[in-house]
Amino acid sequence: MLLINKKFSLNKKYLKYSLKTTKQFSNFFIKNTFQKNSNSQSKIQTQTNNLILRKERNPLFTNETKRFFSETKPDLLNIQFIPDPEGVRDFIIKAPYDEIPFDEAVVLTVRAIKELKKRIPNRTILVGIGGASGSGKTTFTEKLEKFFSGMLMISLDNYLDKSKKVIDNNFDDYRLMDFPLLKKNLDDLKEGKSTEMPIYDFRGGGRVGYKTISPPASNVILVEGTYALHHSVRNAYDLTISATGGIHYDLIKRIRRDITRTGQSPQETLEQITETVYPMYKAFIEPDLKFAHIKIRNYFNPFTALLKPIYTLKSDREITFDEIRSSFPDPQSIEVNKEEYNDIYLLPPNEVPNKKLYWIRVRHSLEYGTYTIHFADVFHDKEFLISPTFDFSVSAKVLSGLMGLGYKIDATIHRKTQRFKSGNLQVLVDQVFELNNKVYIQIKGDDNLQVSEMAKKLQFQNHFVNKTYIEIYFEKFQK
């Protein structure tokens, strides 16, 4: 197999390409890998091997997945049927490896379902996928839906039962799930009967009715949810899948999802995660995942967190305040503020300092005493530093909550800043105490051309600093 050693620099074309990669890959794969009416095992194997080679040439293919492929053989997507050690089914599917990257798990699952349909004809195949909140379960089921037209997707969220008592405002308690009704619905569908499935309204916070569902024409039903593999329903499935993504990945996905789906503020979601979601996960979800036939490891990809990017150009050139004022198109519109704060950098569990950029930065304002959290995923594109605009205010207890999840404080950087702002463009004059009180100039904006033009006016040429303060900090203390 071919392996990529070449490093790819991040430019605007690459960034635009990266954000479309998932959709393009999915459409390409459907078209070229699983041709309709193809029952030839050798043809599928050949196409799978070609897929491996094509993906290893892809600059967006994660390092973890490259390493996975480099350590495996071309038959990595082969599946086996073995006797069920629990004696519930006649056989179960055995995956070739204990943990499988996301895209490869899609291919493996498609194969497994196709084989199950051959071995159990004229019956609905039930597939369950469970895992931590935000681990990629919904995305996974949406990808599978492209391969099985008419597949019925059942979200476990509809089985929340608000008539049960909520303890300590913990809506992630498994005891709130109506498992008996889920089991009845699955049994009915497996026997070819119609059944009444509940409907849950998240914004209203309750069950609003039922709808009649029938076995789908595809004979494939997929149940997706945090507790989908709970022991009370696990044995109803023909195939079980678990999805995990690591705390940092799951954290960002959960926050972004809840902002849209429930209307919660980011702070409310983060507090809920640290206080209830992950304790419940460790106690009542993770133990059931070990029984899954296929285990997905969804590695964190910083591009998934890129919302509206902010472009930054930084320089160590000495520049006067008058020069800064005169560089703005309309000097009369400039707002000037003085700020002082500590940036506390939290390293995710199992990350190595100065090796990853998956930081959480908690900014503590020394003037107001407030805390602001920022997911500090920064990309380098020549002179530019590009970062997502994903930050929000939090309470002090969130900091201790994150440390309870395994994050650790790895650096604290004290700064004084004078901020010149006009519209969406701003120039920051930073005095960084941990860097020998050195002064840096930063130009920030959501329009890279506008930022570049300002840099020309301030004569940044030959004075660019293409590093974040945390990167400079670590370089200083490594010498």
Percent of the residues in the chain that have a pLDDT greater than 70, as a whole number = 67
Alpha carbons 150 and 158: distance in angstroms, whole number: 20
Alpha carbons 182 and 158: distance in angstroms, whole number: 9
Give helix 41-56 / helix 102-119 axis angle, nearest 10°.
170
Residue 19 in this model has a pLDDT that exceeds 80: no
Q: Give the model's confidence band at 218: pLDDT under 50 very low, under 70 low, under 90 confident, else very high.
A: very high
CB 323 within 8 A of CB 429: no
Q: With 0-12 CB in 10 A as exposed, 13-18 as middle and 19+ as buried, what is 29? A: buried
Strand-strand pairing, 239-244 and 294-297 = parallel
| Greater model confidence, 327 or 27 | 327
Candidate ranges 71-85, 131-145, 405-419, 446-460; pick with highest mean pLDDT: 446-460
Alpha carbons 265 and 428: distance in angstroms, whole number: 28
Residue 465 in this model has a pLDDT that exceeds 90: yes
Q: Give the model's confidence band at 34: pLDDT under 50 very low, under 70 low, under 90 confident, else very high.
A: very low
**Structure-block tokens of residue 478:** 């490594």
CB 186 within 8 A of CB 125: no
Q: Give the model's confidence band at 132: pLDDT under 50 very low, under 70 low, under 90 confident, else very high.
A: confident
CB 298 within 8 A of CB 307: no
Q: Residue 78 has what pLDDT? A: 73
Q: Residue 163 has what pLDDT? A: 72
User: Is the whole model's pTM more than 0.75, yes or no?
Assistant: no
CB 443 within 8 A of CB 313: yes
Scanning 81-215, the segments in alpha helix (DSSP H) are 102-119, 137-145, 179-190
Alpha carbons 23 and 11: distance in angstroms, whole number: 20
Q: Which domains does the chain have, with CATH numbers?
A: 17-303 (3.40.50.300), 306-478 (2.40.320.10)
Tens-digit pLDDT profile for residues 133-180:
667 788 888 889 888 888 999 999 899 887 776 665 565 677 888 999
Question: How big is the chain, counted in residues?
Answer: 479
Of 149, 171, 154, 153, the residue nearest 162 (C-alpha):
171
Residue 198 in this model has a pLDDT that exceeds 70: yes
Three-state DSSP class for 74?
Answer: coil
Q: What are phi and psi of 351, to 5 degrees?
A: -90, 150
CB 258 within 8 A of CB 264: yes
CB 251 within 8 A of CB 271: no
- In eight-state DSSP terms, residue 165 is P
150 CB-near residues (< 8 Å, 6+ apart): 216, 217, 218
Q: With 0-12 CB in 10 A as exposed, 13-18 as middle and 19+ as buried, what is 185? A: buried
Lowest mean pLDDT among 1-10, 82-91, 248-257, 376-385: 1-10
Q: Give the model's confidence band at 283: pLDDT under 50 very low, under 70 low, under 90 confident, else very high.
A: confident
> What integer is the mean pLDDT of 119-146?
87
The single residue listed with the structure tokens 């190595």 is: 352
Alpha carbons 278 and 134: distance in angstroms, whole number: 12
> What integer is the mean pLDDT of 274-289?
75
**Structure-block tokens of residue 293:** 């036939």
Residue 313 in this model has a pLDDT that exceeds 80: yes
User: How many other C-beta atoms lie within 10 A of the C-beta of residue 450?
Assistant: 16
Scanning 201-342, the segments in alpha helix (DSSP H) are 247-261, 266-272, 278-280, 286-289, 321-327
Lowest mean pLDDT among 55-59, 98-102, 457-461: 55-59
**Structure-block tokens of residue 229:** 């593999």
Residue 235 in this model has a pLDDT that exceeds 70: yes
Scanning 12-62, the segments in alpha helix (DSSP H) are 12-32, 41-56
Q: How far is CA 394 from CA 250, 363, 390, 402, in A?
A: 18, 10, 13, 12
